[in-house]
Amino acid sequence: MELSKRAKKYLDSLKRDKNYSSGKKSTTAYLEAQLGSDFEEFIKFQVNYSGYKFTIKKAKHHNFSAELFTRKQVKKNKPIEVEKMGDRLIAMCGYHLSAPFSFFITDKGEFCTLDDTDMPHIIHSSFEKFIETYALKNKHYKYTETPYYTVKNSKLLEEVMSEDFKVLPECSDDYSTWWKKGKIIAVKGIWLDQPVSYFHVYSEDSDAGEALVQLLKDKEILE
């Protein structure tokens, strides 16, 4: 997917460690030599995103360093650590400053961790979706946040939210849904370590966010 204007502007504002980036031609040759195929999604991640540090203003706990291959690794044709997991190939693609998980990119472009059985646990359908969520949160970094709540009834949540909120398609996919109404942003996401959905609200007025949560609690949608 192509990044939104907001996400492109956000990406342009970030610092990039060139030691973790390489050009398309050299990356393609490297993957073909190491894996026997170029694997387009790995190339896209390496060329477009590897080396960036994704941050959000005033939120030190939101800090992800995208690191797929080093430039030296590509130049010297060093072995690639890629694993076959189910019907996917995965490669470690970075680390989060405050989340004790390993993060991977799949050969289908998905962004994931591993579940309890060491199988891919998909968080976003693409790394672009991850960038879109960071760009959105960075733009509204002054918003207050509610605690995280477990979603008890996902179908009913979608129905209730669709009554007054609009979906933000650039951030949403099969694994998370983002909504916006005025100065309230809400997300139904998936925990990093388990296939369970959470609900979280960002709002300019903390009372508005808390009121939304209470409404959903009263309907027994959240716990």
pLDDT (tens digit per residue) in 54-90? 999 988 888 999 999 999 999 999 999 999 998 999 9
With pLDDT > 90 as the criterion, what percentage of the chain qualifies?
A: 91
What is the arithmetic mean of pLDDT over 93-118?
Answer: 93
Cβ(212)–Cβ(153) below 8 Å: no
Give yes or no for residue 100 having a pLDDT over 90: no
pTM above the 0.85 mark?
yes
CATH topology of domain 143-218: TATA-Binding Protein (3.30.310)
What is the arithmetic mean of pLDDT over 181-194?
Answer: 97
pLDDT value, residue 102: 93
pLDDT (tens digit per residue) in 13-58? 999 999 999 999 999 999 999 999 879 999 999 999 999 999 999 8
* Direct distance between the N- and C-terminal alpha carbons of the chain, in angstroms, rounded to an integer: 34
Give yes or no for residue 142 having a pLDDT over 90: yes
What is the overall mean pLDDT for the chain? 96
Contact residues for 22 (Cβ-Cβ < 8 A; gap 6+): 30, 46, 47, 50, 69, 71, 74, 75
State the span(s) of the chain assigned CATH 3.30.310.50: 143-218
Residue with tokens 């790394």: 127
